């Protein structure tokens, strides 16, 4: 009989969430680097370079790779011969570990979890509670996988109850284009097939914790239906041409995982979950001898890459006019310097409500750019913690009001905009740019100063003014309404292959 002490379990969970905030798994780095080497689309290659460089910087600096440090998930497999030296529940033990990790003084992580999700949506401040899955298994050890899943990729989770003879490949190829770039590809798609709806979801979530090993499957050949499906989907999803950050390119997925379970004769439940550029999970085993020891990867695991901004247009944000931005072209790379406002969901909601009531806004947006971001708190000499872009389409509903009523001329975020937002951008002669999702620490290095201008009570969702120097972005929607997330994937889909794309 093994005894697991409370303090060892809590310490292990806390250490694990800190560890995954700044260390990518080595298999992800290797696989992304291979995709980078193969990539023929310059825009996608540049995005992958930023993710790889960001990853190395995070590993060296022990700061989060992404500003969205995720919702905490734990899969705990408890041996049936294990005894616990604690009066707390397993949920409470995991939560205590999460609390310690997310409020760590040296590397505070962003608390993103809100209680009362369909009501007041109040931040719990320490990212608890975690989502804990427990299984009793034979043995005398406790086997734990922790993961931190970002909202952008979780929001793109898909589920369907297919008919028994429906094609899973057709279904996947119909839904992946609708996911756009919000899940920050390239990453992993994980499928759970069979069981019941909740079982399919759990199979998919479990599967994404496996190492990336598609190359091994290619080398030895598929032996089961699941393995055939992995290969077929890997090839066909990449042939969609979505590419890194949805800019168009050869690599949308680095691996496809498929796990199945027997199901009812009348059913074929299927879940599809993406894992993003911030792939964060680690596995440890407790045997009663003390807390887990997590082995850091070697810095040699990261390629040594340098960014090339030679062809980028330098932009002075403090002297911009609508006429200036009108000449920028979709796909063009920029380096922004000067004063950049920030704001995301809560600030936009409040601003548009104030506009509707005819109130004066606390910030003058005339000829300004706004960055959709919710940064991690700063430590030591940082102006701001990791501060990558958040999903812009959540701001689509506010965009026309902001462009029509405030004098705003530009936005920076991640992934594509919807048709109404694109039309509004065109109508008002504004622009929308993207920074690379999953390159938050790299982006934060171009932010030299930060101060809160309004809505301080919103915390990381307040309106800040950043002073930026050479912040790399790409024009995603230009003032003529041309959108790189439409043209890029279409171009690369045509170049890659001839497979028909089924639309949902």
Query: If binding is defined by CB under 6 A, does position 153 make contact with ligand SF4?
Result: yes
Q: Among residues 25, 79, 97, 150, which is the contact residue for ligand SF4, using CB under 6 A? A: 150
Q: Which two tokens stand for residue 501?
A: 């794309």
Q: How many residues bind ligand SF4 (CB under 6 A)?
A: 14
The H-or-E segment that residue 324 falls in is: helix 322-325
Cβ-based nearer residue to ligand SF4, 183 or 369: 183
DSSP 196: -
Q: How far is the CB of 188 from ligand SF4 (least distance, A)?
A: 12
Q: How far is the CB of 409 from ligand SF4 (least distance, A)?
A: 25
Q: Which residue in this structure is represented by tokens 């915390």?
A: 459
Cβ-based nearer residue to ligand SF4, 153 or 450: 153
Cβ-based nearer residue to ligand SF4, 394 or 448: 394
Q: Which residues contact 93 (CB under 8 A, 6 or more apart)?
A: 6, 9, 10, 13, 86
- 274 closest CA partner among 355, 182, 348, 344: 182
Q: How far is the CB of 474 from ligand SF4 (least distance, A)?
A: 16
Q: Among residues 186, 269, 438, 489, which is the contact residue for ligand SF4, using CB under 6 A? A: 438
Q: Among residues 74, 277, 383, 435, which is the contact residue for ligand SF4, using CB under 6 A? A: 277
Q: Which residues pair with 134 in a beta bridge?
A: 76
Q: Among residues 9, 22, 23, 183, which is the contact residue for ligand SF4, using CB under 6 A? A: 183
Q: Under rule CB under 6 A, which residues in 55-74 are in contact with ligand SF4?
A: 66, 68
What is the rounded distance in angstroms from the CA atom of residue 66 to the CA atom of residue 377? 12
Longest dimension (CA), the chain: 74
Cβ-based nearer residue to ligand SF4, 58 or 406: 58
What is the rounded distance in angstroms from the CA atom of residue 479 to the CA atom of residue 483? 10
Q: Among residues 437, 472, 488, 489, which is the contact residue for ligand SF4, using CB under 6 A? A: 437
Cβ-based nearer residue to ligand SF4, 237 or 436: 436
What is the rounded distance in angstroms from the CA atom of residue 6 to the CA atom of residue 4? 7
Cβ-based nearer residue to ligand SF4, 152 or 207: 152
Using the contact rule CB under 6 A, the part of the chain among 173-181, 275-283, 337-345, 427-435 near ligand SF4 is 275-283
Q: Which residue in this structure is represented by tokens 């959709």?
A: 372
Using the contact rule CB under 6 A, the part of the chain among 15-23, 217-225, 274-282, 394-402 near ligand SF4 is 274-282
Q: How far is the CB of 187 from ligand SF4 (least distance, A)?
A: 8
Q: Give the contact letters, 221-260, x = binds to ligand SF4 (CB under 6 A), - = no.
A: ----------------------------------------
Q: How far is the CB of 83 from ligand SF4 (least distance, A)?
A: 37
Peptide bond into 443 cis (omega under 30): no
Using the contact rule CB under 6 A, the part of the chain among 127-135, 260-268, 272-280, 401-409 near ligand SF4 is 272-280
Q: Among residues 276, 411, 425, 496, which is the contact residue for ligand SF4, using CB under 6 A? A: 276
Q: Among residues 82, 132, 242, 278, which is the contact residue for ligand SF4, using CB under 6 A? A: 278
Q: Give the gyration radius of the chain's Cα atoms.
A: 23
Q: Which two tokens stand for residue 272?
A: 């599809």
Cα–Cα distances in angstroms (integers) from residue 367 to residues 322, 410, 455, 474, in the given order:
7, 8, 21, 19
- Do 379 and 405 contact (CB within 8 A), yes or no? no
The H-or-E segment that residue 43 falls in is: helix 42-61
What is the rounded distance in angstroms from the CA atom of residue 255 to the CA atom of residue 235? 10
Q: How far is the CB of 350 from ligand SF4 (least distance, A)?
A: 23
- 297 closest CA partner among 82, 89, 33, 99: 33
Paired sense of beta strands 253-261 and 187-194, if any: parallel
- 297 closest CA partner among 17, 8, 58, 14: 58
What is the rounded distance in angstroms from the CA atom of residue 502 to the CA atom of residue 169? 10
Q: Which two tokens stand for residue 202?
A: 């759990």
Q: Under rule CB under 6 A, which residues in 386-415 are in contact with ligand SF4?
A: 388
Dihedral angle of Cα 466, 467, 471, 477, to the nearest 10 degrees: 60
Cβ-based nearer residue to ligand SF4, 152 or 489: 152
Q: Among residues 73, 184, 250, 435, which is the contact residue for ligand SF4, using CB under 6 A? A: 184
Ramachandran angles phi, psi of 5, nearest 5°: -85, 145
Query: If binding is defined by CB under 6 A, does position 373 make contact with ligand SF4?
Result: no
Chain residue whose CB lies nearest ligand SF4? 150
Cβ-based nearer residue to ligand SF4, 79 or 374: 374
Query: If binding is defined by CB under 6 A, does position 436 make contact with ligand SF4?
Result: no
Site of interaction with ligand SF4 (CB under 6 A): 66, 68, 150-153, 183-184, 276-278, 388, 437-438
């Amino acid at each position: 009989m093994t005894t697991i002490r409370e303090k060892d379990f809590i310490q292990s969970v806390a250490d694990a969430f800190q560890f995954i905030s700044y260390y990518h798994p080595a298999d992800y780095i290797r696989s992304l680097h291979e995709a980078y080497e193969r990539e023929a689309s310059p825009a996608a290659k540049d995005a992958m370079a930023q993710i790889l460089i960001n990853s190395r910087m995070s590993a060296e600096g022990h700061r989060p790779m992404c500003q969205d440090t995720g919702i905490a998930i734990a899969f705990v497999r408890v041996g049936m011969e294990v005894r616990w030296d604690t009066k707390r529940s397993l949920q409470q033990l995991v939560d205590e570990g999460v609390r310690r990790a997310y409020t760590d003084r040296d590397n505070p992580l962003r608390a993103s979890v809100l209680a009362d999700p369909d009501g007041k949506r109040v931040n719990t401040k320490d990212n608890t509670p975690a989502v804990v899955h427990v299984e009793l298994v034979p043995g005398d050890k406790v086997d734990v996988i922790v993961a931190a899943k970002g909202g952008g990729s979780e929001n793109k989770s898909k589920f369907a109850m297919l008919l028994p003879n429906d094609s899973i490949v057709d279904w996947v190829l119909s839904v992946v284009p609708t996911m756009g770039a919000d899940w920050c590809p390239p990453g992993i798609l994980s499928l759970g097939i069979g069981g019941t709806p909740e079982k399919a979801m759990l199979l998919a979530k479990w599967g994404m914790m496996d190492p990336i090993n598609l190359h091994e499957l290619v080398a030895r050949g598929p032996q089961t239906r699941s393995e055939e499906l992995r290969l077929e989907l890997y090839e066909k999803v990449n042939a969609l041409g979505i590419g890194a950050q949805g800019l168009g390119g050869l690599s949308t997925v680095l691996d496809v995982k498929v796990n199945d379970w027997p199901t009812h004769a009348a059913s074929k439940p299927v879940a599809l979950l993406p894992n993003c550029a911030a792939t964060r999970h680690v596995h440890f085993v407790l045997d009663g001898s003390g807390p887990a020891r997590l082995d850091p990867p070697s810095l040699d695991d990261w390629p040594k890459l340098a960014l090339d901004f030679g062809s980028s247009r330098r932009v002075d944000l403090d002297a911009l006019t609508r006429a200036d931005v009108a000449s920028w072209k979709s796909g063009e790379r920029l380096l922004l310097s000067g004063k950049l406002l920030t704001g995301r969901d809560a600030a936009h909601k409040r601003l548009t409500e104030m506009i509707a009531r005819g109130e004066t806004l606390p910030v003058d947006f005339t000829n300004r750019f706004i960055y959709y971001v919710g940064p991690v708190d700063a430590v030591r000499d940082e102006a701001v913690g990791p501060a990558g872009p958040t999903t812009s389409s959540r701001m689509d509903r506010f965009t026309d009001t902001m462009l029509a009523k405030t004098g705003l001329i530009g936005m920076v975020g991640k992934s594509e905009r919807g048709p109404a937002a694109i039309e509004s951008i065109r109508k008002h002669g504004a622009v929308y740019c993207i920074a690379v999702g999953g390159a938050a620490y790299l982006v934060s290095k171009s932010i030299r100063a930060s101060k809160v201008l309004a809505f301080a009570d919103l915390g990381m969702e307040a309106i800040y003014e950043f002073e930026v120097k050479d912040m790399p972005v790409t024009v995603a929607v230009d003032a003529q309404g041309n959108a790189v997330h439409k043209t890029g994937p279409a171009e690369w889909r045509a170049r890659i292959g001839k497979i028909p794309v089924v639309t949902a």
